[in-house]
């Protein structure tokens, strides 16, 4: 899989997750229609979605398999060291890229989340960098800026407001995370942030594997696309 395709998948994920971010900030959580004992797994952008789904619907999801994925709310939360980019830069060749803070591509895109201490708003007409959470296709990786405790606080805040399930459910769930050693799209820290978030939200069953000895491209050599699996 080329890094260019990886970058497009990241952009596509952010466009899709923007709907979840906007919903979770304002409205009660709608039913997912999932039966108790459902597990959700994904690859790349599908893994990002799996993380969001497993936290938002933790009452009906028993666990998740995350094959190269980012932490919940990482895309939309601006930490002090995070730069911003002009929304106007998304026009033209980047017309399909949607980033937190800019609604000129996707009108449903959420704004930068500054709801917790240690987070910042984005200035008007500016948003967060594409792929800020993991680095991809030569873009700079800002995953070291992420404060996982802040993301955990945001999840608890949304749960208290009823916009996601009670995060106390996460304590009974199981999570497996994987990153290939040759993955040029998701940095080691990006996946570690997702694993640490599950742990901070109470799960005592988080397994993470980083394969540094056997060559693996972005996620898996035998799966060359972003996929989402839901098992009930």
Section 194-218 average pLDDT:
83
Is residue 213's pLDDT more than 70? no
* Contact assessment for residue 150 and residue 118, using Cβ atoms and an 8 Å cutoff: yes
* Contact assessment for residue 82 and residue 129, using Cβ atoms and an 8 Å cutoff: yes
Query: Mean pLDDT across the chain, nearest whole number?
Result: 80
Region of 174 on the Ramachandran plot (φ > 0 left; ψ -120 to 50 alpha; else beta): beta
Per-residue pLDDT at 210: 76
More confident residue, 200 or 185: 200
Per-residue pLDDT at 183: 83
Residue 31 — very low, low, confident or very high, per pLDDT cuts 50/70/90? low
What does the chain come to in residues? 232
Burial of 140 by CB count in 10 Å (0-12 exposed, 13-18 middle, 19+ buried)?
exposed
CA separation for the pair 144, 221 (Å, rounded): 27
Per-residue pLDDT at 15: 43
CB burial of 82-111 (b: ≥16 within 10 Å; e: otherwise) equals: bebbebebbeeeeeebbbbbbbebbeebbb
Is residue 45's pLDDT more than 90? no
The string of pLDDT tens digits covering residues 122-179 is: 999 999 988 889 877 667 889 999 999 999 999 999 999 999 999 999 999 999 998 8
- DSSP track, 48-87: HHHHHHHHHTTTTEEEEEEES-PPTTTTTBPPTT---EEG
Is residue 218's pLDDT more than 80? no
Domain count within the chain = 1
Domain limits at 194? Answer: 3-231
Residue 110 — very low, low, confident or very high, per pLDDT cuts 50/70/90? confident
């Amino acid at each position: 899989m080329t890094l260019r395709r990886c970058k497009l998948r990241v952009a596509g994920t952010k466009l899709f997750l923007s709907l979840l971010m906007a919903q979770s900030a304002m409205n009660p959580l709608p039913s997912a229609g999932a039966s108790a004992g459902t597990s959700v797994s994904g690859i790349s952008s599908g893994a990002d979605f799996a993380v969001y789904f497993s936290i938002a619907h933790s009452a009906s999801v028993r666990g998740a398999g995350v094959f190269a994925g980012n932490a919940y709310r990482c895309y939309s939360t601006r930490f002090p060291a995070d730069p911003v980019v002009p929304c106007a830069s998304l026009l033209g060749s980047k017309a399909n890229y949607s980033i937190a803070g800019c609604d000129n591509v996707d009108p449903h895109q959420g704004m930068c989340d500054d709801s917790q201490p240690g987070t910042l708003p984005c200035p008007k007409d500016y948003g967060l960098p594409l792929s800020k959470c993991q680095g991809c296709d030569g873009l700079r990786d800002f995953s070291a800026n992420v404060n996982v405790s802040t993301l955990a606080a945001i999840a608890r805040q949304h749960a208290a407001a009823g916009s996601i399930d009670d995060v106390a459910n996460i304590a009974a769930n199981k999570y497996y995370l994987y990153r290939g050693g040759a993955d040029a799209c998701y940095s080691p820290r990006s996946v570690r942030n997702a694993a640490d978030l599950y742990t901070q939200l109470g799960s005592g069953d988080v397994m993470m594997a980083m394969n540094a000895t056997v060559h693996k491209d972005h996620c898996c050599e035998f799966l060359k696309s972003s996929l989402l699996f839901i098992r009930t």
